[in-house]
Amino acid sequence: MTSPFPGMDPYLEGYVWPQVHSMLANVILEMLNPKITPKYIAQLDLYMVRDALLGEDIGIMYPDVEVVLNNKVEEPQMPYASHAQTSPLTVSTPTLTLVDVKIPVVEIKDRASNRLVTAIEILSPVNKRDPGLEPYLKKRIELFNAGVHLLEIDLIRRGKRPVKHRKLEDCHYTVNLTRAGTARTDIWGFNVKDTAPIVSVPLAGEDPDVVLDLGEALKIIYKRSMYHLSIDYKETPPPPTFDTEVQQWMNEILTNNE
């Protein structure tokens, strides 16, 4: 079974995203390694990020937290609690809870020297908001100063993008390529109606780029994980809200897919 969407499925931005993130990183390894060996090797690395668990993502990225809250044992009223009669609460969520999140990154290394040549970051909400945004932006600078190419795959519409441009304002998703030793970032922007792009993956020195078919990678992870069995397409997709024209288009293809 394939996704009803031609490229990025916006429903993958929800509670399945942590699995999507990990699966996509592994599929990228599978797709790149036959193209770059024996001189290079693509490997998976993990780094830890401290994330602020905000109410907006409870039930989207961290649904288990909402389950815990809804099933918590009622505690006796504390002495400071108000005895005034108030209207019933709609929901009670943590104001700010910090959680540690493991982020996978694909690293291409020169086998002879074990030198990092290219980093492929699949951005997550953790990278695009505080407190994770600042250390991620710092990491981007460190990679650039170290002469490492950086390919950023941004399939999450929430949060702040690491690269802004007026031509990207109407793009739902982006892939950014910052080549080592250059003063520019090349960007592929695309929307939920589009197929995902085929992008360049640079290597060291005079070695030619290899290509990564992001659309094919998304098809592979969707099929392997059988997301059609776990995603309810009758529900509203994760925020932010699409404009009316796009939402009508989405409703049509989802109706035709039933």
Strand partners, 121: 105, 152
Structure tokens at 97: 């809870």
Residue 76 lies in a domain: no
Q: How far apart are CA 133 and CA 135, in angstroms?
A: 6
Integer CA distances (angstroms), 130 to 13, 30, 54, 108, in order: 19, 32, 10, 28
Q: What is the CA radius of gyration of the chain?
A: 21
Structure tokens at 155: 């399939």
Whole-number mean pLDDT of the chain?
Answer: 88
Q: Which residue carries 């929307």 as its tokens?
A: 191
Residue 107 lies in a domain: yes
* Pairing relationship of beta strands 97-110 and 115-122 according to DSSP bridges: antiparallel
Residue 216 lies in a domain: yes
Question: 130 in helix, strand or coil?
Answer: coil
Q: Cβ(22)–Cβ(95) under 8 Å?
A: no
Q: How far apart are CA 123 and CA 119, in angstroms?
A: 12
Residue 79 lies in a domain: no
For the segment 141-150, what is each residue's pLDDT rounded down to a tens digit?
999 999 999 9
Q: Which residue has the higher pLDDT, 17 or 67?
A: 17
Residue 71 lies in a domain: no
Asked if pLDDT for residue 68 goes beyond 90, the answer is no
Asked if pLDDT for residue 78 goes beyond 60, the answer is no
For the segment 151-201, what is each residue's pLDDT rounded down to a tens digit?
999 999 999 999 989 999 999 999 999 999 998 999 999 999 999 999 999
Q: How far apart are CA 143 and CA 135, in angstroms?
A: 12
Integer CA distances (angstroms), 122 to 175, 223, 233, 245, in order: 9, 19, 24, 28
Question: 104 in helix, strand or coil?
Answer: strand
- Residue 80 pLDDT class (50, 70, 90 cuts): low
Residues 6+ apart with CB under 8 A from 106: 25, 28, 29, 32, 42, 43, 44, 45, 119, 120, 122
Mean pLDDT of 110-132: 94
Which has the closest alpha carbon to 24: 161, 229, 225?
225
Sign of CA dihedral 157, 163, 165, 168: negative
For the segment 34-46, what is each residue's pLDDT rounded down to a tens digit?
999 999 999 999 9
Asked if pLDDT for residue 55 goes beyond 80, the answer is no
Domain containing 245: what range?
10-65+94-256
Domain count, the chain: 1
